[in-house]
């Protein structure tokens, strides 16, 4: 039976339950609350753990030195300290959860994953959904921008780096090279933003990108790339994307995949999120994703702790049905 790790859901989405307002549209997005309301961040992590998440992601997606200096007027040092304290809030939530569970020991301790969002996120121009910067910036610029936050998260203490919402092959390759060369002992995943059921946001083929990155990590002798996949996409496009990578591979040589999609609602600046009533619940897709090699499944925008609870039930049900084959 293949183990599937259930991830958490949309951090800003669940956070809105505690801060009582919509967070969309803020240039720092949920990362502002690391400074203004860390207790709400703590409670949000706890919600996901209590819903059954086996991995929680730090609230650092949009946390960058540039963003914090520009919008919170922090110094570089204070920004890095804020990123470290944000990781510690997630650690505190995990410790609190484990302490409450001490009567019924868990089989696994939930993983702490550093959310490492794309270079484009700090530009606040939507370019993380297009990857348009891939032709304008160098590998070196991308690596330089990512390095301080990665270092801060590792120093504060995380289990895995979740490199996510990456829109272009060029940024993924720059990060893969950097992980292999500078952080050879750190486990990580790379998860893409895709514009349709075949292509990354920037237009490259998802299957070609995933296959080449996986082969490259293997060629560089790095066993710590634990999965490749998609996040922050419409759930309908996930199965065809996954088929394009793994459908023709024999089970033993399939690439481990990760998916944490949006709810299926559609966001526009004018209307906000629309279409909740038309969404197919995410847990409906879980069996097909697992059958195509998904090893990590959770949710992104507009997915709440209650959605994670249902995903977990679907994963467990699928695992149990596997045992009888």
Binding site: residue ranges? 232, 300-301
Q: Under 8 Å CB-to-CB from 74, ≥6 apart: which residues? A: 35, 68, 82
Q: DSSP strand E in 84-177: where?
A: 111-116, 160-166
Q: What is the largest CA-CA distance in the chain?
A: 59
Q: What is the DSSP string of 256-316?
A: PEEEE---S-EEETTTEEE-GGGPPPGGGGHHHHHHTTEEEE---TT--HHHHHHHHHHHH
- Binding-site members for Zn(2+) are 232, 300-301
Alpha-carbon distance of 184 to 207, in angstroms, equals 25
Beta strand segments in 151-282, E: 160-166, 187-192, 225-231, 257-260, 266-268, 272-274
Cα angle value 65/70/72 (rounded, 5°): 85
| Per-residue tokens: 11 | 């951090």
Helical ranges in 9-103 per DSSP H: 11-19, 33-36, 38-50, 65-71, 76-100
């Amino acid at each position: 039976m293949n183990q599937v790790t259930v991830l958490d859901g949309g951090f800003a989405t669940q956070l809105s339950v505690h801060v009582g307002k919509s967070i969309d549209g803020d240039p720092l997005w949920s990362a502002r609350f690391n400074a203004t309301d860390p207790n709400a961040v703590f409670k949000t992590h706890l919600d996901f753990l209590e819903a059954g998440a086996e991995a929680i992601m730090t609230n650092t997606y949009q946390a960058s030195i540039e963003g914090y200096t520009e919008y919170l007027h922090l110094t570089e040092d204070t920004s890095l300290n804020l990123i470290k304290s944000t990781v510690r809030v997630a650690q505190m939530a995990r410790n609190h959860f484990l302490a409450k569970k001490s009567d019924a020991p868990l089989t696994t301790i939930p993983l702490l994953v550093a959310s490492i969002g794309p270079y484009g996120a700090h530009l606040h121009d939507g370019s993380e959904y297009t990857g348009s910067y891939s032709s304008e910036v160098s590998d070196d610029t991308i690596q330089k921008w990512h390095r301080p936050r990665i270092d801060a998260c590792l120093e504060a203490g995380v289990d895995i780096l979740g490199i996510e919402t990456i829109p272009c092959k060029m940024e993924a390759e720059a990060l893969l090279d950097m992980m292999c060369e500078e952080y050879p002992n750190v486990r990580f995943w790379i998860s893409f933003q895709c514009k349709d059921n075949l292509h990354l946001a920037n237009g490259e083929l998802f299957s070609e990108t995933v296959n080449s990155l996986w082969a490259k990590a293997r060629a560089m002798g790095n066993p710590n790339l634990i999965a490749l996949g998609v996040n922050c996409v419409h759930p309908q496009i996930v199965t065809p994307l996954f088929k394009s990578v793994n459908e023709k591979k024999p089970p033993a040589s399939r690439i481990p995949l990760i998916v944490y999609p949006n709810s299926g609602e559609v966001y526009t600046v004018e209307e906000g999120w629309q279409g909740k009533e038309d969404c197919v619940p995410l847990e409906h897709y879980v069996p097909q994703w697992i059958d195509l090699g998904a090893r990590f499944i959770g949710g992104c925008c507009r997915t709440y702790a209650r959605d994670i609870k249902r995903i977990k039930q679907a994963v467990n049900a699928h695992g149990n049905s596997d045992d009888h084959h």
